[in-house]
Each structure stands twice: as structure tokens, then as C-alpha cells.
A = this chain, B = another copy of it.
Amino acid sequence: MEQWVTVIDETYDGRRSDVIAHVDRRAKTEFDAIFLGGGSAGRFGASVVRSLGGRALVIDRWPFLGGSCPHQACVPHHLFSEAARELDQARALAGRLWYPSFDPGASSILELVDLFRAKRSGPHAHMNWQSAEQLGIEYLLNAPAMVIDAHTVEAAGERYRTRNLVLGTGSRARRLGIEGEDLAGVFDYASLIEDLDYEPQRIVVIGGSKVAVEYGSFFRSMGCPTTIVSRSAVLSSGSPGRMDDDLRDYVVTGMRQRDLSILEDSTVQRIVGDTRVRGVDVVTPDGERHLEADFVLVGAGEVPNTESFDPALDLARDPLGWILVDEQMRTSLPGVYAVGDLVGPPMEMFKSRRSGATAARNIMGLETRLDVSDYPDFLHTTYEVSWAGLGERQARERLRSVVTIQVPPPELSPHETPLPMAEGSMIYGFTMPERTGFQKCVIDAESRRVVGIHHAGHGAKNAFSYLHHLMTRPEGFTIDELGNLNELYISPEYFIGYARLRSSQADLAGM
């Protein structure tokens, strides 16, 4: 594995410049698909083409497969969120039990970014290895490519012909288009990883999305004074807008209690500075404010990467520029598919991977459709916050009779309720019960179906994939079925056990 890491490291820092090729030069078979972009969509798509007996080539400008996720996005974010949780716990429990006094100078954003940069080639190398050795994927890496036409791609000085072309070139952070955006010290999620070379002392995060909330929470937990500036209420639009109101309240209240400053309904007028950023001018509902900052993170959405095929391919796009595709991932041009972030939200791994696999199956003659209109979602603050289906309010707008099962129960204060408590919240449960988390299960009392699940805590996120699958089957998933499962007690979510307490009722009552 070591040599796989070395190749990536030396290529990425410029000591090597040759293409990293894993291509069967003796094969005479035509490519069924070229995947332009070796992120998760391309990698999964190529694997599926190969599984179905076809031949695929993945081409990427980076010296590794996996794309932005393990390089600049999900993986560093997960590392940082785990650090946030660890530090919040070390701070909260300082001087109790075995926890030493908390040294506010010990945690360094730069050090953690450095750690990630130093070690990210490990997961990268694993994906190069796995793709070649386990999946038999052919690839050209460190190979910037240009699309010549719908069946021809030029990379590393050669032209490659293909029956089908699958575009998976991803997206990048959207610019705000405001004054001061190009000052040193203004970052997005990618440039933060690539370029950070100092320790931030005062941070402003622009945006109210998952990225903004996650990075804001991380910076604050690292000990850095941080303000989130959001045009509307944080976590109120897009997928986070579908979480239950009480869950959002619990999460946002917790963020504020950890001294994360949140300015909602506020607009950034300009970023100010001289050689570097010095602050941000903001219009808030209470008037104009100047926020000092030596670090600004812009989390204002993304735009597609189209440079390698635009204008060679005249593809239909939606008003925001995303490549339009149908449920088979077909673009407006025959033989050209688009997958992953390039086709717009949700910018989630399941969609990337499944869209790549869907394109591959259609290319190989298996008609397959992908619907991403409903999916489980999550984000990190100091918690894992997971949700799927309807919030209570949204359910009441649609259904005649709704009951909820909530923990802590509505009658009790979180401060007197050490529940929900399970792995990851046990020590809090016995010291600071208000920190154990929150959950709500939303049920249609008439059909008895579970229609919404909402959780803040630890260890429940993974189950949401499976429970969402059960909920969205055509026959649904009733509270009675839920109550008949075998919970692994203490379950991070209490859905199964609490469903059992209620499920024998003819007329369901909440709790």
C-alpha cells in the first residue's frame, strides 16, 4: 500500500508528472463508457459497467479516484466534526472524572488541517488500489481531459473513443459576487483544505446550509470565536428545512449555548480588509454591523464544473446551470450521461454513487431509474443530527391525525431528562443530562405508518438508511411493525422500544 500512497503524494506535490494509468493496452474491445471524472459517481459507474461485462475507462485530473469527497469534502468534514465532539466533551467535563483541566490553547485548526493533508493520501491510495485490484476498473489519473465530441475524449495526449460518455466532473463552491471576496483569508470548503497556512483567531461563516453549520460548529469547538451569518434562519431551506422544528430548535439552541454566534435574516454587504481580510460588514434585522474576522468561510452553495466539455457538448441545463438529466441519467444528447454533483442537488454521496451506477446499468442495457426526491439526511454539529420523512408540522399539514413519540417528552425539560442516552451520550447522561440529545418519531395515526424520524445524538445516523427504506416501501412501515423489531439496547434511537409501548393501542396516543 505504501507505494500507492507515494505515487499519489509525489504526483500531487509535483515531483512526478506522468499519468497514473491502469489500462489494458492489449484489449481491443471498445469502451462501453468513458467516465469523465473519477469521483464516487464515476468510480461506482465504472465498477458496475465492469460487473455487467462491459468495458469502462475512468479519467480524472487528480492522481487518485474518489473525487472531492475524500480530498476536500466529506472525509475532512467528518474528521473535523469528530474533533468538535471530542473537544466539546473535554471542555464540558474538564476537571470531572479523569478529564484534565481544559487548555483552550491546545486545539489548533491549522494542525488538524495539516494532519488531514498529510494523511489523506491513505484513503486515496486505498481507492486506487481497490479500483484496480478488486474492481478491475481501468483508469487514467493525473490526466486532465477535454471532450472532443459525444464519443471522443482527449487525455494525456491521446484520443479515446467510447460508445457512451458519462460526465461526472463535479462542482465547486459558488462565489458570492461581493466586494472583498478575493482577499487573502477568504476560503471555501476546498481552499480551506488546500491553502490554510495560519491559525484563525476570529471567524465569520457566510451561509445557513449544512456546510456552514457544520464548519461553524467545528471552528467554535476548536475554541475560535465564530459567527454564522445567514440570509434566513439556519437549516431552514433545502433538505435541512425538512427536519422537525423541535429537532432544529434543540440543535440550534445547543449551538448558541456553546457560544456559537448566529445572525439570521442577515446579509453580508462586503468583506473588508487590506492585504488580508479584516472583517465583514453585515446588515442584520437590528441594523448594520461590522464583524471582525481574520478568516471567512463562504458556504453559499455550488456551481457545476463544465470546463472540460463546454462548449464541445451543447447540453440542456437548468436555470442554475446544472446539467439536466432524466431518471436514467441521460442528458439532452444521445449517448451522453451526467452523474454526481454535476446534475445538482442533493450533493450527497448516495446520489453520486447511485447515479453513476444507474447510468452504467442503462448503458449496459438494463433500464434503471433513480429518484432522489426523498432521502434520509444528516449533519454534524457536536451531534449527529439525522432526519427522514416529515417533521411534525409538515405531517399535520398533510394528514388528518398525527401522533408523535418524543424524547425528552414535551412535558419535561431536557435538563431533568437524561434521555435519549446511549453510546456516546452516557457520560453526559450522568453529568449533563440536557446534552444527551433529542428525538421524535412522527406517525400517521390513521394508517399507523411511521412518516417521520428525527434525531440528535450519536450512533443513530446509520439506522436512518434502513428505517427510511422501510418507511418508503409502497406498503409503508407501521408503528406495530416497528415495535416488533429486536432492538439492540441501549439503542441510540428509542424508536423501536417506544413504538412497542404504544403499538397495541387501537387509537394511537403520542408520548
Which residue numbers of A lie inside 8 Å of B, CB to CB? 1-2, 44, 47-48, 51-53, 69, 74-75, 78-79, 81-83, 86-87, 89-90, 97-98, 100, 103, 106-108, 111-112, 115-116, 119, 122-123, 126, 129-130, 133-135, 348-351, 353-354, 357, 360-361, 364, 366, 375-378, 384, 386, 409, 411-413, 416-419, 421-424, 426-427, 429-431, 433, 458-470, 483-493, 496-497, 500-506, 511
Q: Is A82's CB under 8 angstroms from B412's CB? A: no
| CB-nearest residue of chain B to A104 | B98
**In the complex the two chains form, what is the Cα distance from A12 to B496 in whole Å?**
31
The list of the 7 closest CB pairs from A to B, nearest first, reads: A349-B489, A466-B466, A51-B504, A1-B416, A98-B107, A98-B106, A350-B486
Known: A1-B417, A488-B386. A430 touches B116 (CB 8 A): yes
Q: Is A465's CB under 8 angstroms from B490's CB? A: no
**In the complex the two chains form, what is the Cα distance from A316 to B422 in whole Å?**
37
**In the complex the two chains form, what is the Cα distance from A119 to B96 in whole Å?**
15
Q: Is B467's CB under 8 angstroms from A418's CB? A: no
- When distances are taken between beta carbons in the complex, the residues of chain B under 8 Å from A44 are 500-501
- When distances are taken between beta carbons in the complex, the residues of chain B under 8 Å from A422 are 78
- When distances are taken between beta carbons in the complex, the residues of chain B under 8 Å from A505 are 51-52
Known: A384-B423, A424-B82. A411 touches B459 (CB 8 A): no
- When distances are taken between beta carbons in the complex, the residues of chain B under 8 Å from A129 are 412
Q: Is A122's CB under 8 angstroms from B418's CB? A: yes
**In the complex the two chains form, what is the Cα distance from A377 to B488 in whole Å?**
7
Which one of A1, A82, A409 has the greatest number of beta carbons of chain B within 10 Å? Answer: A82
Cβ-defined partner of A115 (8 Å) among B97, B360, B376, B467: B97
Least distance between A232 CB and chain B CB atoms (Å): 25
- When distances are taken between beta carbons in the complex, the residues of chain B under 8 Å from A466 are 463, 466-467, 470, 485
| CB-nearest residue of chain B to A425 | B82
Which one of A47, A468, A486 has the greatest number of beta carbons of chain B within 10 Å? Answer: A486
- When distances are taken between beta carbons in the complex, the residues of chain B under 8 Å from A86 are 89, 427
Q: Is A416's CB under 8 angstroms from B2's CB? A: yes
- When distances are taken between beta carbons in the complex, the residues of chain B under 8 Å from A354 are 484, 486, 500
